[in-house]
C-alpha cells in the first residue's frame, strides 16, 4: 500500500490519519474509516479517496445495501478522476473493482467513463473497446454501441468479438441481414476464437433463415449443435433447463394439461367470440418473422401476469386459463390470440426457451393452414387443441381464405419442479 502512495498526503498529521483509517478498514470498522478518509482536508488526496471508496464498498457488501453500493461506485469514480496520479497497476486495480461493482449494481451506463479511461491509458487493448460496446448493449443503447464498434473495427478490422457484436447490431437494429451474415461468418470462422458463443451462432443461423438461405442455415445449426451451443440442430432456444424431455409435438393426454385442453375445447365458441370482439386491440407482429402476409396478436397474459384489464375483454377465456396456474402463471410464456391473414408465410424460427410447451386452440378459418414443427406438419381444427414445443424450429403457412384465429396458451414444461417454476427468471 505504501508503495502505491509515496508520501501521500504530504502533511504528516493527515498521513497518520490515513494510516489509522487503513487500520480501521482492516478491522472492519468501516464507518470510522470512511469518516476519517472523507475529511474535507483530504479531498485532494488520491489515497484518501481510495480508502473512502473501499470502506464504503466493504460496508455495502457486508450490509448488502444498494444505496451504500451506489455511494461506493461514486467514490471509486471520484478517485478515477485523479487517474494521472495513479500508476498503471493501481489504475487497473481500481478500474476492475469499479467495473465489477457497476456490473453487480446493474447500472451499465456508468461503466462508460471507466472504459474511456482504460482506452486512453491502454489504447492497444481491444478488450476495453469491446467491453464498452457490451456495456452499451446491456444498457439498451445500441446507438452508442455502434459508434464504439465503428472505432474498434477501424483499428482492428478482424477483431472477432467486435465483428460478432457488429453482426448482432446490424441484424437486430437495422435488419441488414446480408451484412450481419458476413460479420458473423468472419467472427465464427473455423469455429474458433473468443466470439464462438451460442447467441452468435443463433443469430447467424436466424439471419440466414430470414434471408431464405435454408441450406446454409442448416449447416450453421449443425455446427452450433455439435459445439454444444444448441440442444440439437432443430431445438435452438438459448434459455434452457438441460434435463427436460425434448420432443417437437406432444400428446396432451400424456401431460398434466388434459383438463385444461378439454375445458378450452368445450368453450371454443365463446372463446372465439371474445377473440373477435377485441379485434381493435390486436398488435401487428413486429419481429420480422413473416416472409409475406399479415399476422397480429392480442396478449392476455405475459410472463405469468395479466395485461391490466385485458381479462374484462375475455372473461370466459381468462377464467379457464386461470384454472391452471401452470398456464396463467407461466413466467416464461404468454397467453394470446393469434390472427393470421390468408396468404401469410412465417419463416422458420424458434422460441427463446425450452421451459414451456405451447397449446393452440383452433378458432376459425383453419382450412389450408399448416404448422410445421421440426419434421412434422400438422393442421389446426376449429374447436380442437394440440401442443408443441416452440423451442424447436417451426414454420407457418396460411394458404386458405379468411382470418385464421387461434388461442395460444403456454404452459410450464411438465418436467420442471415447483421450485424451478418459482425461481426461473421470466422471459
Ligand atoms: C408460432 O408460435 O410461431 C405460431 O404457431 C403462431 C401462430 O399464430 O400460428
Ligand atoms: Mn413461433
- Number of Cβ atoms within 10 Å of the Cβ of 331: 20
Instruction: Tell me if residue 17 falls in helix, strand or coil.
Output: helix
* Nearest atom (ligand 1) to Cα of 406: 8
CB < 8 Å & 24+ apart, contacts of 5-8: 5/46, 5/47, 5/50, 8/45, 8/46, 8/47
* Interval between CA 142 and ligand 1 midpoint (Å): 29
- Number of Cβ atoms within 10 Å of the Cβ of 247: 13
d(CA 362, CA 156): 53
User: At 102, which helix (H) or strand (E)?
Assistant: helix 88-105
- Residues 326, 353 contacting (CB under 8 angstroms): no
First to last CA, the chain: 46
- Residues 426, 342 contacting (CB under 8 angstroms): no
Q: Whose CA is nearest to atom 8 of ligand 1?
A: 338
Q: What is the pLDDT of residue 173?
A: 94
* Interval between CA 238 and ligand 1 midpoint (Å): 19
CA dist 236 to 122, 222, 247, 287, Å? 39, 10, 13, 17
Q: Whose CA is nearest to atom 6 of ligand 1?
A: 338
ipTM over 0.90: yes
- Number of Cβ atoms within 10 Å of the Cβ of 198: 16
Q: What is the pLDDT of residue 1?
A: 46
The best mutation among 338, 381, 411 to test binding of ligand 1, ranked by most ligand atoms within 8 Å of the C-beta, falls on 338
Domain ranges of the chain: 2-226, 249-423
Q: What is the DSSP letter of 307?
A: P
d(CA 129, CA 134): 9
Q: What is the pLDDT of residue 3?
A: 62
Average pLDDT, the chain: 96
According to CATH, the superfamily of the domain at 249-423 is B-lactam Antibiotic, Isopenicillin N Synthase; Chain (2.60.120.330)
Is the pLDDT confidence value at 206 over 90? Answer: yes
d(CA 136, CA 140): 6
Of 4-13, 75-84, 341-350, 412-421, minimum mean pLDDT range:
4-13
Fold observed for domain 2-226: 1.25.40
User: At 96, which helix (H) or strand (E)?
Assistant: helix 88-105
Is the pLDDT confidence value at 7 over 80? Answer: no
Bond preceding residue 331 cis, omega within 30 of 0:
no
pLDDT in tens, 142-171: 999 999 999 999 999 999 999 999 999 999
Is the pLDDT confidence value at 333 over 50? Answer: yes
* Ligand located closest to 351 CA: 2
pLDDT in tens, 213-250: 999 999 999 999 999 999 999 999 999 999 999 999 99
Residues with CB under 6 A from ligand 1: 338, 340, 346, 371, 390, 394, 396, 406
Is the pLDDT confidence value at 369 over 60? Answer: yes
Amino acid at each position: 500500500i505504501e508503495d502505491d502512495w509515496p508520501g501521500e498526503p504530504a502533511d504528516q498529521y493527515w498521513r497518520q490519519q490515513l494510516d489509522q483509517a487503513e487500520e480501521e478498514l482492516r478491522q472492519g470498522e468501516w464507518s470510522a474509516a470512511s469518516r476519517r478518509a472523507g475529511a474535507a482536508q483530504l479531498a485532494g488526496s488520491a489515497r484518501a479517496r481510495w480508502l473512502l471508496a473501499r470502506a464504503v464498498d466493504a460496508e455495502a457488501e457486508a450490509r448488502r445495501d444498494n444505496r451504500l453500493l451506489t455511494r461506493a461506485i461514486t467514490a471509486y469514480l471520484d478517485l478515477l478522476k485523479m487517474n494521472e496520479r495513479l500508476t498503471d497497476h493501481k489504475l487497473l486495480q481500481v478500474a476492475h473493482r469499479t467495473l465489477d461493482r457497476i456490473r453487480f449494481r446493474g447500472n451499465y451506463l456508468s461503466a462508460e467513463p471507466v472504459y474511456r479511461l482504460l482506452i486512453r491509458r491502454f489504447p492497444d487493448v481491444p478488450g476495453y473497446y469491446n467491453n464498452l460496446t457490451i456495456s452499451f448493449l446491456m444498457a439498451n443503447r445500441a446507438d452508442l454501441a455502434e459508434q464504439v464498434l465503428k472505432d474498434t473495427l477501424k483499428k482492428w478490422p478482424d477483431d472477432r468479438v467486435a465483428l460478432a457484436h457488429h453482426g448482432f447490431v446490424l441484424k437486430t437494429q437495422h435488419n441488414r441481414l446480408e451484412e450481419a451474415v458476413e460479420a458473423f461468418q468472419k467472427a465464427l470462422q473455423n469455429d474458433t476464437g473468443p466470439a464462438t458463443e451460442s447467441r452468435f451462432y443463433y443469430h447467424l443461423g436466424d439471419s440466414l433463415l430470414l434471408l431464405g438461405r435454408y441450406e446454409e442455415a442448416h449447416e450453421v445449426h449443425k455446427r452450433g449443435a455439435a459445439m454444444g451451443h444448441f440442444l440439437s440442430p432443430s431445438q435452438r432456444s438459448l434459455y434452457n433447463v438441460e434435463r427436460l424431455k425434448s420432443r417437437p409435438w406432444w400428446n396432451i393426454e400424456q401431460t398434466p394439461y388434459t383438463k385444461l385442453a378439454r375445458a378450452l375445447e368445450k368453450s371454443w365458441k365463446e372463446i372465439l367470440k371474445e377473440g373477435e370482439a377485441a379485434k381493435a386491440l390486436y398488435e401487428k407482429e413486429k419481429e420480422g418473422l413473416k416472409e409475406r402476409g399479415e399476422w397480429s396478436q392480442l396478449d392476455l397474459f405475459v410472463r405469468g401476469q395479466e395485461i391490466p384489464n385485458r381479462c374484462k375483454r375475455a372473461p370466459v377465456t381468462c377464467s379457464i386459463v386461470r384454472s391452471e396456474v401452470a398456464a396463467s402463471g407461466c413466467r416464461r410464456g404468454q397467453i394470446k390470440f393469434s390472427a393470421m391473414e390468408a396468404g401469410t408465410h412465417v419463416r422458420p424460427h424458434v422460441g427463446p426457451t425450452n421451459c414451456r410447451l405451447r397449446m393452440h386452440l383452433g378458432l376459425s378459418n383453419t382450412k389450408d393452414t399448416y404448422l410445421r414443427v421440426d419434421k412434422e406438419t400438422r393442421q389446426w381444427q376449429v374447436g380442437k387443441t394440440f401442443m408443441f414445443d416452440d423451442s424447436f424450429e417451426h414454420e407457418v403457412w396460411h394458404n386458405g381464405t379468411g382470418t385464421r384465429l387461434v388461442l395460444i396458451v403456454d404452459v410450464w414444461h411438465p418436467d420442471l419442479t415447483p421450485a424451478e417454476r418459482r425461481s426461473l427468471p421470466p422471459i
